[in-house]
Amino acid sequence: MINLNNITLKAFADIYELDKSYLGTPNYLGIAYFWNYEYRHYLRDTTNHKRKRVHDLFLREGLEVAGSSGRHLELIQYVTKADSCQLTTI
């Protein structure tokens, strides 16, 4: 596991660009921003793990990762308010 708090700015920028190239794929790491502006308060300050979980749920349900709908919000709220033991039930 990489501690992103202890890497150089150059290393972070490179990882961020790599992760941007993974948006919309199962390879997404949870670092790059992908969400609709409407959901910024839910996702910008959450963990990489929860961002990846939301992203992967969007993919699994056939939702556009940058889209906006009631289902998008429902999944975001579920993941950002749930603890890790509940995430496998959805």
Four-point Cα dihedral 30, 31, 32, 36, nearest 10: 50
Range list of H helices, the chain: 9-21, 40-43, 48-60, 70-81
Residues 59-79: tens digit of each pLDDT: 999 999 999 999 999 999 999
Give me the pLDDT at residue 73, please. 97
Is 53 in contact with 16 (CB distance < 8 Å)?
no
- The pTM (predicted TM-score) of the whole model is 0.85
Residues 25-60: tens digit of each pLDDT: 999 999 999 999 999 999 999 999 999 999 999 999
84 or 56, higher pLDDT: 56
**Mean pLDDT, range 5-24, rounded to an integer:** 96
